[in-house]
Amino acid sequence: MLACAESCTGGLIAGACTDLAGSSQWFERGFVSYSNTAKTDLLGVPKELLLSQGAVSEPVVRAMAAGALVHSRAQVSLAVTGIAGPSGGSADKPVGTVWFGWCMGEQIRSEMLHFAGDRAAVRQATLRHALAQLATWL
């Protein structure tokens, strides 16, 4: 079973999964944790981690992926957090920066990518990459 924890995609990954007939056989739940408070309340991401690292960071996405497993009945999770734009970027974290996390049991993989394009393009690229990489790990 799969659980997903989404920030910048706002539920697009869960939506893509549940668009498929029969997905109830393998999709357990999705968390849309757009705000820092939601990341803490829904997934158990420590407030201190969010304050020290920022929501768009490797430690936070790893905590999101782990939290999705802890707060679900899934065996596999994926998490995404990023800056889809058009605003919100910085020199260190420009628009298009996305952190990905995948968790299976005790193993967590993470990766950061930069996507070009407008908000919709960044979100769609995030959706595609998250699922494609998950498929390579399973």
DSSP 3-59: EEEESTTTTHHHHHHHTSTTGGGTEEEEEE--SHHHHHHHH---HHHHHHH-SSSHH
Q: What is the pLDDT of residues 47-63, one digit of tens each?
A: 999 999 999 999 999 99
Whether the full predicted model's pTM is greater than 0.85, yes or no, is yes
Position 138 scores a pLDDT of: 77
Q: What is the pLDDT of residues 10-33, one digit of tens each?
A: 999 999 999 999 999 999 999 999
Average pLDDT of the residues in 92-116: 97
Q: Given pLDDT bands bounded at 50, 70 and 90, which one contains residue 137?
A: confident
Position 97 scores a pLDDT of: 98
Question: What is d(CA 40, CA 56) in angstroms, rounded to the nearest whole number?
Answer: 14
Position 121 scores a pLDDT of: 98
Q: Report whether pLDDT(129) > 90.
A: yes
Average pLDDT of the residues in 106-123: 97
